[in-house]
Amino acid sequence: MILEPYSRDLAGVKFGRLTAIERVGSDKNRNAIWSTRCECSEFKDVLALSLKSGHTKSCGCLAREIAVVRMQSNRPERKAADLAGLVFGDLHVIRRDSTRKRVYWIVACKCGSALFSAIADRLRNCETRRCATCARKLRGNRAVTRI
Ligand SMILES: [Zn+2]
Ligand SMILES: [Zn+2]
């Protein structure tokens, strides 16, 4: 029998969450396939190649857990979404402000005052909804109505 590069004895060796138990065969390219047991007690047949390269580290439970974590951390979305044309409060988003490192968008207030840049996150969180002039006016009005 021709020995393949990955046919060495892996029994008992741990790869991530998987512990190799015994060699169960080869794939069509004659790469060794090992039966492994995951920490979650699932069994899985894996190519020795995948174990050694770190490609396969669990029966699939690890990937599932990572996927869940990713889904959670993606909320709220972090990448620069295209806000052009959207309206936030009194602001109409015109275009991306590429002169800044952070994600800023150039917006126009409906009062017609000069265009200005607003941080994308603040627009989406409704923290920035109008120009400074309108905000000042609104604060003034509120202060009056509160009294
Ligand atoms: Zn598992
Ligand atoms: Zn305004």
Query: Quick check: 1 pLDDT over 60?
Result: no
Which pLDDT tens digit goes with each residue over 77-127? 456 788 999 999 999 999 999 888 888 999 999 999 889 999 999 999 989
From CA 59, how far away is CA 7, in angstroms rounded? Answer: 21
Q: Are the CB atoms for 20 and 51 separated by under 8 Å?
A: yes
Which pLDDT tens digit goes with each residue over 49-89? 999 999 999 999 988 888 887 777 665 545 678 899 999 99
Sequence letter at residue 105: W
CA 98–ligand 2 middle distance (angstroms):
23
User: Nearest ligand, CA of residue 118?
Assistant: 2
User: Nearest ligand, CA of residue 90?
Assistant: 2
Q: What is the pLDDT of residue 102?
A: 86
CA 101–ligand 2 middle distance (angstroms):
25
CA 67–ligand 2 middle distance (angstroms):
43
CA 43–ligand 1 middle distance (angstroms):
8
User: Nearest ligand, CA of residue 40?
Assistant: 1
Q: What is the pLDDT of residue 81?
A: 81
User: Nearest ligand, CA of residue 115?
Assistant: 2
pTM of the predicted model as reported, rounded to 2 decimal places: 0.45
User: Nearest ligand, CA of residue 58?
Assistant: 1
From CA 140, how far away is CA 57, in angstroms rounded? Answer: 60
Which pLDDT tens digit goes with each residue over 16-48? 999 999 999 999 999 999 999 999 999 999 999
Which pLDDT tens digit goes with each residue over 3-15? 444 457 899 999 9
**What are the strands of the beta sheet with 87-88, ordered from one edge?**
87-88, 91-97, 104-109, 116-119
